């Protein structure tokens, strides 16, 4: 029964064009959200490329013929400026894949963000508020890295120029 459910979950994630929440998967399979969390852990242990984002679980599809470009940028701002920073990036057609910080005890910490448009940014910010969570940048007084992804270097350049103008970009 459990193995069959995990195969259904895997298929739904592969076919979905969007992240699926634990609650959605639980409702589809008539089990608790905690069972879904365990199922996802088992699937990840089998090296299935599933990530947990603020919008739900996402199956990382194999790269398509469409070329993507990535860039890691260093940023600095207050927690209150997070929404503005993310809007500036996604408005250029750029996806914010993650946020990274260098913690003095734990070393490098990375969290998935996966936002590509203002609606997803709003959902991300709302989830932070609803769960009373902290932004990783609060552990480093505002300094953090983002991995950005776009279908052209020009979009990455434009997003970086906007971050620089806003005073969010740390330059070497």
Domain range list for the chain: 2-59, 69-166
pLDDT tens profile 66-123: 688 999 999 999 999 999 999 999 999 999 999 999 988 888 999 989 999 999 999 9
> With 80 as the cut, is the pLDDT of residue 172 above it?
no
Domain 2-59: which topology?
Arc Repressor Mutant, subunit A (1.10.10)
Binding residues: 77, 85, 144, 146
Domain 69-166: which topology?
3.30.1340
Binding residues for Ni(2+): 77, 85, 144, 146
For the entire predicted model, the pTM comes to 0.71
The answer to whether 170 and 74 have CB atoms below 8 angstroms apart is yes
- Give the phi and the psi of residue 114 in degrees, each rounded to 5: 50, 65
């Amino acid at each position: 029964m459990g193995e069959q459910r995990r195969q259904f979950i895997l298929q739904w994630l592969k076919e979905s064009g969007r992240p699926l929440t634990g609650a959605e998967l639980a409702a589809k399979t008539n089990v608790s959200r905690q069972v879904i969390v365990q199922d996802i852990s088992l699937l990840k242990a089998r090296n299935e490329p599933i990530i947990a984002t603020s919008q739900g679980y996402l199956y990382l599809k194999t790269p398509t013929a469409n070329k993507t470009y990535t860039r890691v940028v260093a940023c600095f701002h207050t927690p209150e400026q997070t929404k503005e920073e993310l809007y500036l990036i996604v408005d250029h057609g750029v996806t914010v894949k993650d946020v990274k910080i260098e913690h003095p005890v734990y070393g490098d910490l990375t969290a998935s963000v996966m936002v590509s448009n203002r609606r997803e940014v709003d959902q991300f910010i709302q989830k932070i508020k609803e769960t009373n969570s902290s932004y990783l940048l609060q552990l480093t007084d505002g300094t953090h890295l983002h991995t950005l992804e776009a279908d052209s270097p020009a979009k990455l350049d434009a997003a970086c120029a906007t971050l620089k103008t806003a005073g969010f970009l740390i330059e070497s």
